[in-house]
Amino acid sequence: MHASDIKRQALNELEEEYEEELLDLEKCTAALNKILKEKETLEKELDPYDTEGCLGIKLSQARDLINEGKSDLKHSKEVNDQIEKNLNELNELRRDLKEKFDKLNCYQTTLQYLKVVQHIENLCSELKQETSKRDDEKCVTLFANLTEISRVLSDCKVTHLKEHLKESILFWHNVLKDKLAKDFLDVLKQMKWPFLSVNFSLVCPIEVNVDRLQLLSEYLLQIEIPRESNLPVDGPSGVLSNFLPPCLPIEMLIQPLRKRFLYHFYGNRKTNRPDRPEWYFTQILTWIRDHQEYVGTWMQTVIEKFGLHHLDVKTEFTRGLVQLAAEKLNSELPSLQFDDFHFSHTINEALGFDKELREVYNYPTSEPGIIVILTQASVLVKWLNMEKKYAMEKMDGILSSNTIEAFDLLMSDVEDLKITTCADAFITLLQTIAERYKCLPQPGHRLQFLELQLELLDDFRVRLMQIVNAEQGDYMETKVPMVANTLYYVEGVLVDWGSMLHYLNLYYYKTQSTGENNKYNTFSSPKLNTLEESATTGLETDSLFVETLALYRRFRRDILSGLSEAVLIEVRKKSREYRREGWTSMKVGKDFRSLSLTPSACPMFEVLAKRLHQLQKKLQNKLFTTVWRNIATQLDTFLFEDLVMDNRFNEGGALQLKFDITRNLLPLFSHYTDIATNYFPQLIESSTLLNLAKGSALLLRETLLALKEASGVEDTRGKMLKETGVNYFTPDMAVKVLNQRTDITVDRLIVD
């Protein structure tokens, strides 16, 4: 702050404190003395050299604290130096101790290692002694101790020790296995196992042999090398690797059967016939049938005694025998692939074997079977090619140009579905293929056969198209109507298949593998009206067959549309004279009941009735409904445009037209529906307008024309027409029909 500012501030403070006293000299002198005294006191307190002053006391205390801090700092440095010295001595001691402990631990580990080695050697020595003494129980106990050491050492990094232990375990496992197996097989011989005589059901082994067999089974189970261990276990490899070895007792039971199988179905024996795979398949099934129950009775209790509840001895026994068949089939197939007939025969027999195995003997689907051999890449490709080859040959036979019977109707068709012979044979062909491949465990393999089915469906459709295109002459005498029935039956079957679990699963796998879930649009024919929907099976969008169904449906619609058009062409031709009648000059009585059909209409109605009757006999009911509805709808339009709107009518002509429609045309279609009037709205309403009383017709026409031009007036034309009985025609069309009357219009070209 500037000096002048300090001075000014001091003056302001004096004025505020003393005010008028500053004008009194004595008071000013007293105030000055007071201030000077206060100044002296403050200067004394702030004198750093005055030991009694406030500032002097504080400074003295600060000097004492500084000296004390210097002393503490010196002491802490001395302590820190001592700590560092002690730490260095401690680290040296720790290193020394670590070296000694490491050495001690090494000695202890070595000692323990030697103890384990010694324990293994002692167990092996004891095993050697007990083996010579034929003490089986003691032997299996000692062997169990060996395997327990292996379990304890499983997480230890003692490679050489574990290798030595593994060799010891495998050695004594084989020794004990051979010894127990010999005793086991001796007991089996005493029990006359396997039971191969025709009277095997009368066999009843003595109890002492069964007890001995079960005891030996217990010993074999105790020397079993666990599958979860890291020790090697003998078993099949390659394509047969899914066949896990059965437990040792079951393996011993299978051994005599294996010897017999090798004797009969390998080498130069007459029973070893590659062209007769059913011989060894039947033999395996026979052995399963004859021995399965005995195995379950003798062995399951032994298995459960050791807590091996996950093992089912019947399944183990069956799997071991199935493996024999799989090995045999695997050895035969490479040579059979060059012989189509024998290859196909073998595939059929193998599939039949697997089916009987699963369904009759309850062999679980989770267990490997003979199918694993058939799904090898080379075999599967050959199988697919053979399926396609024989399917094509079958289709050639079904649809041969010389086979008229292909489109004959089945005599067993109780539901009158008009099922043709070729349709039934083709569906049976597809079903047979499905039955063969549906047991394949891999979805990818089943999808390959599905693609073959879809290919055959498309080929069948193309063949039917070729047949239709080749037909000539009277369409009613050709195969065309029966082709429509064939297509419709196949459609219905495909829709049913699409909801079956087998095909639903394949649909799921296919959409998952392709990443697609497309919704396909159905095909439609412009020549068929929407009424056709009620006569066809709806397409399921979530189906494997949606594209195939769409193509079949389109083809069938085209055929039905062609049949309808063929009938209409004949009708148009036969109606020429009828449409050229003198409708303006007809003289008929007023009694409607005395009228008869216009003579020139007879050919038209005759051909129409004939063709409808023929179509009803030829086509399946729903297909015929589609056709007659389409004919009726198009006939209504044709007669309206080419007869009503192309002629003028006097009173007699209008009455005659009404008679022809209501007493002849409608009754003709009433054979097929109770509401025939719904399909001829144009003809019926034309007849209504043409037969209105002259005054009513004239008034209606004038009113319709007047309201058309009026503005600001409610349009009641639609209401007026409804009161007249006209619901289909628009007011403008109604006027055009009224203009065809000769009694209310003169100029045919009158402009509405």
Amino acid at 8: R
- The pLDDT-based confidence of 478 (bands split at 50, 70, 90) is confident
Helices 54-133 and 159-190 pack at an angle, to 10 degrees, of 30
Q: Work out the average pLDDT over 426-436.
A: 95
- The pLDDT-based confidence of 38 (bands split at 50, 70, 90) is confident
Compute the distance between CA of residue 646 and CA of residue 137 in angstroms, rounded to an integer. Answer: 113
Please check the confidence at residue 18 and state whether its pLDDT lies above 80: no
Least confident segment among 12-21, 225-234, 659-668: 225-234
Q: Closest Cα to residue 142, out of 125, 166, 165?
A: 125
What pLDDT was estimated at residue 718?
Answer: 87
Distances (CA, A) of 732 to 501, 719, 739: 57, 14, 11
Compute the distance between CA of residue 592 and CA of residue 594 in angstroms, rounded to an integer. Answer: 5
Q: Cβ distance 614 to 606 under 8 Å?
A: no
What pLDDT was estimated at residue 194?
Answer: 87
Compute the distance between CA of residue 688 and CA of residue 737 in angstroms, rounded to an integer. Answer: 10
Q: Work out the average pLDDT over 315-340.
A: 92
Q: Give the count of beta carbons closer than 10 Å to the beta carbon of residue 621.
A: 14
What pLDDT was estimated at residue 751?
Answer: 41
Exposed e or buried b per residue across 363-381, where buried means at least 16 C-beta atoms within 10 angstroms of its C-beta:
beeebbbbbbbbbbeebbe
- The pLDDT-based confidence of 17 (bands split at 50, 70, 90) is confident
Q: Cβ distance 284 to 324 under 8 Å?
A: yes
Joined together, the tokens standing for residue 414 give 């109780």
What pLDDT was estimated at residue 494?
Answer: 96
Q: Work out the average pLDDT over 559-568.
A: 95
pLDDT, tens digit (0-9, with 9 covering 90-100), for 39-63:
777 777 777 777 677 777 777 788 8
Please check the confidence at residue 554 and state whether its pLDDT lies above 50: yes
**Bridge partners for 420 per DSSP:** 409
Please check the confidence at residue 113 and state whether its pLDDT lies above 60: yes
Exposed e or buried b per residue across 189-219, where buried means at least 16 C-beta atoms within 10 angstroms of its C-beta:
eebebbbeeeeeeeeebeeebbebbbbbbbb
Measured in degrees and rounded to the nearest 5, phi and psi for residue 409 equal -85, 145
Joined together, the tokens standing for residue 736 give 């055009």
Least confident segment among 104-108, 207-211, 552-556: 104-108
Compute the distance between CA of residue 613 and CA of residue 419 in angstroms, rounded to an integer. Answer: 19
What pLDDT was estimated at residue 230?
Answer: 59
Q: Work out the average pLDDT over 495-519.
A: 82
pLDDT, tens digit (0-9, with 9 covering 90-100), for 711-739:
767 778 888 999 999 999 999 999 999 99
Q: In the chain, what is the straight-line distance between the N-terminal and C-terminal CA atoms, in Å?
A: 113
Which of 100-114, 288-302, 599-613 holds the top average pLDDT? 599-613
> Can you spell out the DSSP letters for 212-257?
HHHHHHHHHHHTPPPTTSSS------GGGTTSPPPPHHHHHHHHHH
Rg of the chain taking only CA atoms, in angstroms: 55
Mean residue pLDDT across the chain = 86
| 3-class SS of residue 409 | strand
Please check the confidence at residue 107 and state whether its pLDDT lies above 90: no
pLDDT, tens digit (0-9, with 9 covering 90-100), for 249-275:
999 999 999 999 999 999 888 999 999
SS3 per-residue string spanning 41-69: HHHHHCCCCCCCCHHHHHHHHHHHHHHHH
Q: Work out the average pLDDT over 17-27.
A: 72
- The pLDDT-based confidence of 750 (bands split at 50, 70, 90) is very low
Distances (CA, A) of 30 to 24, 38, 41, 315, 586: 10, 12, 17, 129, 157
Compute the distance between CA of residue 35 and CA of residue 373 in angstroms, rounded to an integer. Answer: 124
Exposed e or buried b per residue across 581-613, where buried means at least 16 C-beta atoms within 10 angstroms of its C-beta:
bebeebebeeeeeebeebeebebbbebbeebbe
Q: Cβ distance 254 to 172 under 8 Å?
A: no
Amino acid at 441: P
Distances (CA, A) of 501 to 442, 498, 648: 16, 8, 64
pLDDT, tens digit (0-9, with 9 covering 90-100), for 169-204:
899 989 998 999 999 999 999 988 888 765 555 567
What pLDDT was estimated at residue 254?
Answer: 94
> What's this model's pTM, rounded to 2 decimal places?
0.76
Give the DSSP H or E segment for 156: none
Q: Give the count of beta carbons closer than 10 Å to the beta carbon of residue 183.
A: 18
Q: Work out the average pLDDT over 628-634.
A: 97
Please check the confidence at residue 535 and state whether its pLDDT lies above 70: no
Helices 421-437 and 340-359 pack at an angle, to 10 degrees, of 70
What pLDDT was estimated at residue 228?
Answer: 55
Helices 340-359 and 377-398 pack at an angle, to 10 degrees, of 100
Joined together, the tokens standing for residue 497 give 């298949």
- The pLDDT-based confidence of 749 (bands split at 50, 70, 90) is very low
Q: Cβ distance 131 to 175 under 8 Å?
A: yes
- The pLDDT-based confidence of 525 (bands split at 50, 70, 90) is very low
- The pLDDT-based confidence of 156 (bands split at 50, 70, 90) is confident
Compute the distance between CA of residue 741 and CA of residue 583 in angstroms, rounded to an integer. Answer: 10
Least confident segment among 128-142, 307-321, 345-359, 483-497: 128-142
Residue 242, Cα to own-chain centre: how many angstroms? 25
